[in-house]
Every structure is written in structure tokens, then in C-alpha cells.
Amino acid sequence: VGFDLKKIKTRQIPKLRKKLGIIFQDYQLLSDKTVIDNLLFVLKATHWKDKNAMLNRAEEVLTLVGLSTKDFKYPHQLSGGEQQRVCIARALLNNPEVIIADEPTGNLDPITAQDIFQVLHDINQKGTTVLMATHNFSMIDKFASRTICIEDGKLIDSLL
């Protein structure tokens, strides 16, 4: 994404953050905020100023992940798959070049996991790099374009 991470300066970190989207296994949503407020919180933190632009962008990414009608729900009112879709929407807010997903389907049932993999695959097909850590080998075989297998911190295999 254009940064040497070994030499990055503190003042460059906000620019780097805008180029990366992060998806956590355990969602990391703010439980006291609605879905839309979770997204607006990130936009404010990444220095968006125009409230209409912020609201439009939040609604746009919710539509992309199929949650346009869930914007005023709280995280506890959503299923695990819906919460993960909110996390994907959050990762997309600043049009990142790369999305890093840490076990994005680890807490989901197989059908919901497949849906989440499909959403991430669709994002990748539109040009965003998706780097994912997962143990879900059946989904890797179905969706991955490149697979790197790491075990005990060592590269075991790399497949295209």
C-alpha cells in the first residue's frame, strides 16, 4: 500500500489506516451504538467532516453488504453473520486498497460462513486485495486465488 512499515513515521499512520480495512473474528463493534453510528464513528475517526457525505458513504457500504435495512439496529439485535457484514462494511468505508480479515468466519455456521466468503470474494473481484487468515479449508478451495500456508510461523506452501 505504498509504505515501508519498518520505517513508517507517526504522521503517516492516518494515511496508512485509510488504505487498510480490518475485519476481526470477534467483530469489535461498539455495543452502545447503532449500526449506522458504528460506521459514522469510524468516518469521524478518519477525519471525514461533511455529515451528508458521511451518511451517504455509510448507507452505501451497508447496501453493498446487504444490510441497508439494519442501520438503526444495535449489534446485539443482529445475528453473527449480520454483525460480520457490519464489520465488512466498516472495513470498506475508506475505499481501502487492502482488507485484512482475521478468521472472519470463525464464529459462524457453515452457511453463513459461505455467505461471508462470497461477500469478500465479490469485494476482491472489484479490485480490492483481501488478505485473510482462516482455518476454513473448504472455503479456501472454493474462493482463494492465492493460498499461503503458514504453520508455527513458517511458510509451508504457496499456491496460485
Residue 13 has pLDDT above 90, yes or no: no
Range scoring the smallest mean pLDDT among 64-68, 78-82, 96-100, 106-110: 106-110
What pTM, to 2 d.p., does this model score?
0.84
Q: Are strands 129-133 and 98-102 parallel, antiparallel or unpaired?
A: parallel
Which residue has better confidence, 106 or 18?
Answer: 106
Q: What is the CATH number of the domain that holds 42?
A: 3.40.50.300
* Domains identified in the chain, total number: 1
Residues 6+ positions from 160 with CB-CB distance below 8 Å: 145, 146
pLDDT score of 3 more than 80: no
Residue 136 lies in a domain: yes
Structural domain contains residue 1: no
Provide, rounded to the nearest whole percent, the portion of the chain with pLDDT above 90. 48
Strand duo 98-102 + 147-151: pairing: unpaired
Closest by CA to 83, choosing from 146, 139, 39, is 39
Helices 51-64 + 80-92 axis angle, to 10: 130
Identify which of 80, 93, 91 has the alpha carbon closest to the alpha carbon of residue 132: 91
Mind giving me the DSSP string for 65-117?
TT-TT-TT--GGGS-HHHHHHHHHHHHHTT--SEEEEESTTTTS-HHHHHHHH
Largest CA distance in the chain: 48
- Identify whether 4 is part of a domain: no
Instruction: Name the band, by pLDDT with cuts 50, 70 and 90, for residue 31.
Output: very high
Q: What is the per-residue pLDDT for 89?
A: 95
Mean pLDDT estimate for the chain: 88
pLDDT at position 144: 67
Residue 59, domain extent? 10-159
Within-domain flag for 5: no
| Residue 65 Cα distances to 7, 9, 25, 135, angstroms | 35, 34, 17, 23
- Asked, for residue 75, whether it belongs to a domain, the answer is yes
